[in-house]
Chains A and B, each alone.
Chain A
Amino acid sequence: MRANELQAIYIMWMRQMKRFVRSRSRVISMIIQPLFFLIFLGVGFRNVQMPGLEGSFIDFLAPGTVAMAILFSSMFAGVSVLWDKQFGFLQEVLVAPVSRFSIIIGRTLGGATTALIQGLIILIISFILGVRPSSIPGLLLAIVFMILIAFSAVGFGLVIASRMNDFEGFQLIMNIIMFPLLFLSSAFFPVKEDMVLRTLSFFNPLFYMVDGLRGSLIGTENSIFSPFMDLIVVIIICVAMLSLGSYSFSKSEV
């Protein structure tokens, strides 16, 4: 790869970081939503008994909200290509003597980094609320999961961006696809004991993300598969989403 391409990847990434730091209101609202889930559900249901729930509810909930924060903000980062399309900036990027591949890498790295920062903020807040990681290797594996979730969702965002021309469609997809998938992913309540929910969740890509994140971060009492099994599935999802995303991106604008 030429030095030129690395420069381009770097500046595409840097641009996202600068925009991230400067759009404070957007960042705050993206952090606040999962935070409300964590605090209100976590504190409100702290003594609740559910079938299939081992240990405290907030320990169960923390990985779910971290996954939610990363998923939503990296999907948004992927979809924000639409913004560049509407404001014409995409043309400036596309006439540059840089390969499409580098443009996609820069864009994806930028989006994933900002999402990861938001996920880490939620994670740290959950530690403050009393959640404790099971072990240091577990925590590291959890971070690997967070990275994979971020990249998969950016890829999904890119797919959506290439199929749509405005933002109303994005809201619709968030509300009728992402929310149900998230609720059925065991992010907020266990699905272990209910055979229907449990079977359904096997077809839900978000389930493996949440299950793996929970297994590595908190411990395997509440997860269905072993974290390594989840890891393999999530890696496959991630590769598929990224390839699909970059394929759609490179096809959408000639």
Chain B
Amino acid sequence: MNIVETFNLTKRFNDLTAVDHISFSVRKGEIFGFLGPNGAGKTTTIKMLTTLLNPTEGTAKICGYDIVRDRDMVRQSIGVVFQEPALDTMLTGRENLDFHARMYGLSREERTTRIEEVLKLVNLVEKRDTLVKYYSGGMKRRLEIARALMHFPKVLFLDEPTLGLDAQTRRTIWEYIKRMNKEEKTTIFLTTHYMDEADFLCDRVAIIDHGKIIALDTISNLKNAIGNDVIILSCSQPTDLRKRLEREDWVKSIEQHNSSLTLGVEMGEEKIPIIVEISQKIGVKIKSISVRKPTLDDVFLHFTGRRIRDEKDANSSLEKRSSFRRRGV
């Protein structure tokens, strides 16, 4: 059963199309990932799905409710953790949860039991009466996740849940996300630009770039699309070697990135001697060569021709994003 469905969802800011006719659906109970570089349109999509922005064109349904016409019902069915922290730091953890509970119309008994429950889920019981301004970054994130769960949402939206956190804290947050998906049976929609995060958490992933979905499948299927193994090599004349290798039918995909080539193949170990032989024949010197299992990073490269953290690209999209923000989005 589909719990989120979008139909040609589109958002334009003046002449910039941030989200461009995307249609996809999220199944009940899964962890669905929206993966793309900064400025790809992830946050804009989440803002439309959570009723903070109206789509320019198209629409979406959450639990069967239309995001434009049945706003209140949509709001009642979802929980949201925004990219930037959205806590009142002058209130304690418990007060933040109580504020949320009352805004969502929970009764007194529901409030007290639920606050205990969600605090336990994210291990913040001892900190509940401390002002949030004394919380660490990881604690704030955990409190926000707990708060988003307060009113038993059917779908939970997480916008870059581990942005700016250290490696260890990210791990813990991941554990919590897995846990609430399992224990609370909450469907989770998350955006990330971290490959490892999507790899670890998601059942299915949509890859979004320049406002369009360029691939959508289970993680293993996406990886299989580029072959079971990835061979990375760096050499003296990458262009020549690439042109020569493109003619081999066992090469499922090939990407050139500066002086290195990335190949998707089956049974990678057996292909290394073949590649070495070919390159010697055409006089290309191989500096290094290695085989590994494909990651989502390779998948992204395969579909977009770019690595997800391309320096230049990240910068220009950051500019785009800050100009959205100036418009009060």
A residues whose Cβ falls under 8 Å from a Cβ of B: 2-4, 7-8, 10-11, 15, 18-19, 22-23, 85, 87-98, 165, 252-254
Contacts and interface: CB of A to CB of B under 8 A. Distances in A.
A7 B102 contact: yes
Interface of B: 50-54, 72-73, 75-76, 78, 80, 82, 84-91, 95, 98-100, 102-105, 131, 147, 326, 328-329
Contact of A88 (B75, B85, B147): B85
Contacts of B75: 95-97
A8 B99 CA distance: 8
Nearest to B77: A97
A95 B90 contact: no
A95 B50 contact: yes
Contact of B105 (A92, A93, A97): A97
Contact of A92 (B86, B326, B328): B86
Contact of A97 (B53, B72, B328): B72
Contacts of B328: 85, 165, 252-253
Given A97-B76, A253-B328, A89 B86 contact: yes
A85 B99 CA distance: 17
15 contacts: A2-B105, A3-B105, A4-B105, A8-B102, A10-B102, A15-B99, A22-B131, A87-B86, A88-B82, A88-B84, A89-B88, A91-B82, A94-B52, A95-B50, A97-B75
A82 B109 CA distance: 34
Chain A interface SS verdict (over half) = helix
Given A88-B85, A89-B88, 4 more contacts: A85-B328, A92-B87, A97-B104, A253-B328
Contacts of B88: 15, 19, 89
Contacts of B90: 18-19, 22-23
Nearest to A90: B86
B103 A165 contact: no
B72 A95 contact: no
A19 B98 CA distance: 15
A23 B133 CA distance: 13
Contacts of A85: 328
Contacts of B329: 254
A8 B78 CA distance: 18
Contacts of B84: 88
Nearest to A92: B86
A136 B75 CA distance: 49
Contact of A8 (B82, B86, B103): B103
Contact of B86 (A2, A10, A91): A91
B98 A11 contact: yes
A10 B50 CA distance: 24
B14 to A, nearest CB: 15
The 3 closest A-B pairs by CB, nearest first: A4-B105, A88-B86, A96-B103
Nearest to B53: A254
Contact of A254 (B50, B54, B89, B104): B54
Nearest to A94: B52
A10 B102 CA distance: 9
Contacts of B89: 87
